[in-house]
Amino acid sequence: MSLSGMTPDEGAAMTDSDIKARTRAKPKVERPKMYKVILLNDDFTPREFVVKVLKAEFGMGEDRAYAVMLTAHRKGVCVVAVYAKDIAETKTDRANDRAQRAGYPLRFTMEPEE
Ligand code: TYC
């Protein structure tokens, strides 16, 4: 009988592949968590400014930006887009900075996807 066909209690040494099969955890590759960037409504920021920020920071065209702005205006919030964490943070920060510099209370937040 070949060495590889023997079980350890038959006297063969544990081979590397025996150890691997029995004890080593299967490395689990997980996708990085994604984050939603969310636009919040307020009573003061002009609609045109919201549209301008969505176009400048989130690469939207006029029609898409207007639709997102209108959803936030009507419902209170709207998901702008979903990104990897560092990209969501950068875009949220840049959009909030732009609003603050212009003196508007417009806010973007982010939250992890389920
Ligand atoms: N509600 C604002 C207004 O009536 C416009 C607005 C829309 C502000 C969406 C923020 O996320 C927002 N001027």
Q: What is the pLDDT of residues 25-43, one digit of tens each?
A: 888 898 889 999 999 999 9
Nearest Cα residue to atom 11 of ligand 1: 41
Say which residue the tokens 């207007």 belong to.
66
What confidence tens digit (pLDDT) does each residue in 71-98 have?
A: 999 999 999 999 999 999 999 999 999 9
Q: What's the mean per-residue pLDDT of the chain? A: 86
Question: Which CATH code is given to the segment(s) 34-112?
Answer: 3.30.1390.10
- Ligand 1 pocket (Cβ < 6 Å) reads 39-43, 45-47, 50, 69, 72-73, 106
Residues 54-76, mean pLDDT to the nearest whole number: 98
- The candidate with the shortest Cα–Cα distance to 80, out of 57, 100, 101, 103, is 57
Give the pTM: 0.79
d(Cα 111, Cα 105) in Å, to the nearest integer? 20
Q: Break the chain into its structural domains and give their ranges.
A: 34-112
d(Cα 52, Cα 66) in Å, to the nearest integer? 9
